[in-house]
Amino acid sequence: MLAVTNISFSYGTNPILEDVSFTITKGEHISLIGESGCGKSTLLKLIYGIYDLNKGEIFWKDTPILGPLYNLLPGGEYVKYLSQNFDLMPHTTVFENVSQYLSVFYPEELKKRTYELLDTIEMTSFAETKVKLLSGGQQQRVALARVLAQQPELLLLDEPFSHIDNFRKNGLRRNLFNYLKKEKITVLTATHDPNDILPYADQVIVLKDTKILAQNTPKKLYEHPNNLYVASLFGEANKIPIHIVKSYADTKRKIIVYASEFKVSNKSGLEVEVSTSYYQGGQYLVEGIYEEEKIFFYHNIAVETGKKVFLNVSIETINQRLV
């Protein structure tokens, strides 16, 4: 188990994290999300032991994780950190990079294990290619396989798919996170991408203004965001008064509505004037104006600029957000 207890850290006089606490059980996958600069990467580095804490403590099982004041090299055999700098050997092959951490005393097992890892990252056809000849996305995939070869108990991933082409990300996500779950490897993933989170994370920690703003399962955080900031990390979201979509409501309370939850009507509801339609493949993201406020919703066709449409929200959505 990883236990982070009341930790604080500053760069000089600039506080990054203050009184942050959480625990992670063996095999659990935690996603860290939040705007750039909120401390996601710093938290991973503290857990790896790259920095010294200003306050608090971090334990992996019964072992304290300490910074450079106590350890010459960060990390230990049980924890591995995949940063956005890949730390590969550029003049050797993909196979050699991945197999470096496997036992040379069993060559057949080494070869089999290496190709299993290369298959996980979809790089078997590049086994004999020198790393320096690979693209940034291909190098990131090799770095993933290389860190998995070290068989960590605790794996820290910092934007693990940031350099990888969109057409390959979905398959790679499934391969990697299913592999980690099968091997019962405890994982912390810092990411901006909700596609890294919603299908795979067991828990999500939202960071903002040096604190943990929210923590829950992806489903509960998505369905019951406690503010617009949390909702916006998962997609386009709006904060609107209930009475403007349900006229019989006797409250001025506001609720959060995702763009996908609005239904377009030609007759009644929240009246908006369309300003822009953004093509997104199977649908359009439409920007409308209500009392000088922007409202975003999805529609199956583009809507003419200047046209007025009505938006409705299901009573189930309203009740869900009022809980």
Q: Where are the domains of the chain?
A: 2-227, 236-322
Question: Which CATH number is 2-227's, of 3.30.930.10, 3.40.50.300, 1.10.10.10, 3.40.50.1820?
Answer: 3.40.50.300
The per-residue pLDDT for 18 is 97
The per-residue pLDDT for 248 is 63
pLDDT in tens, the chain (323 residues): 999 999 999 998 999 999 999 999 999 999 999 999 999 999 999 999 999 999 999 999 999 999 999 887 787 788 999 877 778 888 999 999 999 878 777 788 899 999 999 998 899 999 999 999 999 889 999 999 998 988 899 999 999 888 888 888 888 999 999 999 999 999 999 999 999 999 999 999 999 999 999 999 999 999 999 899 999 999 999 998 887 777 665 567 889 999 999 999 888 889 999 999 999 999 999 999 998 899 999 999 999 999 999 999 998 898 888 75
Write the pLDDT tens digit of every residue in 84-121: 777 888 899 999 999 987 877 778 889 999 999 999 88
The per-residue pLDDT for 269 is 86
3-state secondary structure the chain: CEEEEEEEEEECCEEEEEEEEEEECCCCEEEEECCCCCCHHHHHHHHHCCCCCCEEEEEECCEECCCCCCCCCCCECCEEEECCCCCCCCCCEHHHHHHCCCCCCCHHHHHHHHHHHHHHCCCHHHCCCEHHHCCHHHHHHHHHHHHHHCCCCEEEEECCCCCCCHHHHHHHHHHHHHHHHHCCCEEEEECCCHHHCCCCCCEEEEEECCEEEEEECHHHHHHCCCCHHHHHCCCCEEEEEHHHCCCCCCCCCEEEEEHHHCEEECCCCEEEEEEEEEECCCCEEEEEEECCEEEEEEECCCCCCCCEEEEECCHHHHHHHHC
CATH fold of 236-322 reads OB fold (Dihydrolipoamide Acetyltransferase, E2P) (2.40.50)
Whether this model's pTM surpasses 0.85: yes
